[in-house]
Chain A
């Protein structure tokens, strides 16, 4: 009884506190629902699209006519609309810039829609322990808020793409129903939610400092993005291993395992170097530095906080001597990979010729088969992706695949061939679909394919290709036998 009486006044006090306070009105004006219709391409059959689906997330108005949401919300969108929560009216939105590197997307809405909302102001740096408010709407469009606290600041892998980004963990009693919800400090925007775990009640939040930079970058004439150094590294904690690499002191240094060819660090750094100091900060043996704002953070954040093109000073131990080098940073570019991840699910370029389906190997092609993708795909292709994806022998190289054969009388005898690496067409070497398209244009067709693991070329009747292609397109209902994108 005593307990009950204690509880009731608190519950009563909590309700009106939010509803009556002035910030709620400000917040309400700055939050939208983003309603997206998206159609993912079939990662295996490049001319097919999966059934369109719908996603609803929150967006935050950050400037007149500009709405910030997450990149995975608008990925493969066929229609993006926004609405005021609980209201029926929808307004079409355009995508100004979407970056999977940070899982952020900036949308634009027309003036008549923009006039209905008021942008939220940016908050600054939030450190651990800071008190925040999470906001969302119920079905009737009523604002719900919950108090939260920043429990962790760390560089973590995004749920939407394999990139490491500084995120905040917020512990709150508000059960978030959608991502993209704003995290507020007072009435200022301190971050947006990108993941919510109901078991731990932890919301993973992209901090305002990164979001603000993205929004300014997205509307600038040239989007710059976030810097990347292009290196693989490993912690160096084992005292024996530290001794082997000539480290006398016991606290600093991580080991460089490999640098990505043509990347900024490939010029200045090499495997076996030990990084002691990066861009003004000491790097400890586990790869952490002490950030003045966020505390102990993994050093990849030191790289990402810079812009591509920036040059940083790095102190390394090379051949047991401490030296200083300049490393110029660039942007992570999936398109430079031997096997691109293609996390955004861009439809692959392909060619169907005489029933042979040619395309490039990509991460989504392999992973789309499900959780056991490493065990069920052709192990040769999986191994290439796992060990060599970032390391083309020559820039621009890709892995060209003969995915399979659509059986037809023109390709009789070859119908069992599938998932084979193509090294040449029409007797000329190929290292990408660009090469394949160029040879096809020059020769008028592809009638010979050389495979890496087959000692005899596949040969088709060049004269029969034209009618066969028309027949196959009709029989297998392929809307276009070629998808080639213009070179960037």
Chain B
């Protein structure tokens, strides 16, 4: 009796979406469930992987037998399967492109039967306005079958994409429920895709975020050449020009508007082209207001929004007031690998090197994430400083990475080497350490039988018996169950 009642209740709750879906039946064929088994690396013991776990997300079918989903759904995965609504079969899928800087990924399925009778969804032409009604489709927690929620566009704004921890792009905020499992599901406006559900705010209510149309288009356009380049970074920070005294100091006339450059990132596209104290007057012909906004396509947007829409290889043209004269400066946009941005990485085994039981590994976002309560120790605090001020305080100069002593596998050979954990290596045997690949070279240069390791802003060198360390390593690897003494990207073993 009880069970019967409950069944009725569920049917009643389910029915309205079913009716709504009647008119949108083709959508059911286009939204897929993605089953993943993921395994994150162990940044404290980089020779082994962490535990694996299973989960699921959503995705939708693009023209050309492709599936679009979030990068975070398929990151660090060992096994991916996709399933269509109403089909019991699961098909293995593979990742074609994963764009971690904008949390988008494209999958394909080898077995083409998967795509039989599907109707790819097409992208909308423009973003909806505030208060326009949108549908969110996907497979959130709380059930197995396709779910549909309805809401309105509450806000269109810039926000941090939590997947990479450092990138900000446009986001679409909707008041439709977006829950775990919704990730990668399409947000529809008049049957067209205008967003991809991707993140929420813990503790907030009726706030769900979707990756909006321009970011999806940017990604799809980027990968047409078979490679995902990523968003070009201008690498400029500015100050609004609201203070009359500052405007006079920079030589702006009453009518001129713009923002002043206060920082040029050494890894950004503008490096070497724009300078501190440059006033950016206009971008691609659009005048920049004193608060950094431009009027673009009928909207007021941040001037950086114009760069957001460009691909690597394109240019952006600024009109610049420099030393009281106006210049035209073209900045070619390119993606430069920036190891000092400390973006969260995925599907990349952390590098490490073990000598005498001392474990060295490059500083990464993943490693910083393991510090937790240690951040109240001076050595770990220094890692925070080096990660946040690497470029501003020129700490990165002469370096490809910050090599950190992340652990000590206790053994008589290193039994007195305490007090060095989390320290950043400066030199080994007198050789400056640019990155992990310098370690083997420097370790080969032991003099008088000693390895001498010095650390950043630390006056006490670490001394190791070079011969004893080499002899001990085999035993240490065996004792601590470590398959290999190192994993270094650039091969330069001794």
A→B interface (CB under 8 Å): 232, 234, 237-241, 243-244, 255, 257-258, 271, 371-375, 379-380, 382-383, 386-388, 411-414, 447-448, 453-462, 464
Chain A min CB distance to B378 (Å): 5
Q: Does B396 contact A (CB under 8 A)?
A: no
Q: Does B144 contact A (CB under 8 A)?
A: no
- Residue numbers in B under 8 Å from A464 (CB-CB): 245
- The reply to whether B276 and A379 contact each other, CB–CB distance below 8 Å, is no
Cβ-neighbour of B377 out of A240, A374, A456, A460 (below 8 A): A374
Q: Does B463 contact A (CB under 8 A)?
A: yes
Cβ-neighbour of B465 out of A240, A379, A387 (below 8 A): A240
Which residues of chain B (379-398) have a CB below 8 Å from chain A?
A: 381-382, 384-385, 388-389, 392-393
Kindly report which residue of chain A lies nearest to residue B462, judged by CB atoms.
A241
Kindly report which residue of chain A lies nearest to residue B263, judged by CB atoms.
A455
- The reply to whether B249 and A459 contact each other, CB–CB distance below 8 Å, is yes
Of A232, A243, A371, chain B has the most CB atoms within 10 Å of the CB of A243
- The reply to whether A461 and B460 contact each other, CB–CB distance below 8 Å, is no
- The reply to whether B264 and A459 contact each other, CB–CB distance below 8 Å, is no
- Residue numbers in A under 8 Å from B416 (CB-CB): 237-241
- The reply to whether B460 and A257 contact each other, CB–CB distance below 8 Å, is yes
**What CA separation (Å) do A371 and B244 show in the bound complex?**
42
Chain A min CB distance to B425 (Å): 16
B457-478 contact mask (Cβ, 8 Å, vs A): 1 or 0: 1011001110010000000000
Interface stretch, picked from B200-208, B235-243, B280-288, is B235-243
B412-425 contact mask (Cβ, 8 Å, vs A): 1 or 0: 00001100000000
Q: Does B110 contact A (CB under 8 A)?
A: no
Selected A-B contacts with CB under 8 Å, 14 pairs = A238-B416, A240-B468, A241-B463, A271-B459, A374-B378, A379-B381, A379-B384, A379-B385, A379-B389, A380-B388, A411-B243, A455-B262, A456-B260, A456-B262
Q: Does B452 contact A (CB under 8 A)?
A: yes
Kindly report which residue of chain B lies nearest to residue A245, judged by CB atoms.
B463
- Residue numbers in B under 8 Å from A448 (CB-CB): 249
Which residues of chain B (243-294) have a CB below 8 Å from chain A?
A: 243-246, 248-250, 260-264, 275-277
Chain A min CB distance to B263 (Å): 6
- The reply to whether A454 and B262 contact each other, CB–CB distance below 8 Å, is yes
Interface class of chain B by DSSP? mixed
- The reply to whether B239 and A456 contact each other, CB–CB distance below 8 Å, is yes
Chain B min CB distance to A273 (Å): 12
- The reply to whether B381 and A413 contact each other, CB–CB distance below 8 Å, is no
Kindly report which residue of chain A lies nearest to residue B388, judged by CB atoms.
A379
Q: Does B88 contact A (CB under 8 A)?
A: no
Given A453-B263, A455-B276, 4 extra CB contacts under 8 A: A258-B459, A374-B378, A379-B385, A413-B239
Which residues of chain B (221-245) have a CB below 8 Å from chain A?
A: 239-245
**What CA separation (Å) do A168 and B347 show in the bound complex?**
57
Q: Does B450 contact A (CB under 8 A)?
A: yes
Chain A min CB distance to B468 (Å): 8
- Residue numbers in A under 8 Å from B250 (CB-CB): 456
- A380-B393, A456-B277, A458-B246 known; A371 vs B376 contact (CB < 8 Å): yes
- The reply to whether B242 and A413 contact each other, CB–CB distance below 8 Å, is yes
- A238-B417, A241-B416, A413-B246 known; A456 vs B261 contact (CB < 8 Å): yes
**What CA separation (Å) do A239 and B375 show in the bound complex?**
32
- A375-B384, A383-B381, A412-B242 known; A257 vs B459 contact (CB < 8 Å): yes
Chain B min CB distance to A172 (Å): 34
- Residue numbers in B under 8 Å from A371 (CB-CB): 376
- The reply to whether A240 and B450 contact each other, CB–CB distance below 8 Å, is yes
Kindly report which residue of chain A lies nearest to residue B241, judged by CB atoms.
A413
Cβ-neighbour of A244 out of B246, B382, B463 (below 8 A): B463
- Residue numbers in A under 8 Å from B393 (CB-CB): 380, 453
- The reply to whether A372 and B376 contact each other, CB–CB distance below 8 Å, is yes
- Residue numbers in A under 8 Å from B385 (CB-CB): 379-380, 382-383
Which residues of chain B (397-456) have a CB below 8 Å from chain A?
A: 416-417, 448, 450, 452
Chain B min CB distance to A456 (Å): 5
- Residue numbers in B under 8 Å from A411 (CB-CB): 243
- A375-B384, A380-B385, A413-B243 known; A457 vs B375 contact (CB < 8 Å): no
Of A255, A447, A456, A459, chain B has the most CB atoms within 10 Å of the CB of A456
Top 4 A-B residue pairs of the complex, sorted by shortest distance between their CB atoms: A455-B276, A238-B416, A413-B242, A257-B459
**What CA separation (Å) do A374 and B376 show in the bound complex?**
5
**What CA separation (Å) do A240 and B468 show in the bound complex?**
10
- Residue numbers in B under 8 Å from A244 (CB-CB): 448, 450, 452, 463
Cβ-neighbour of A414 out of B239, B452, B459 (below 8 A): B239
Chain A min CB distance to B280 (Å): 12
Cβ-neighbour of B376 out of A240, A375, A379 (below 8 A): A375
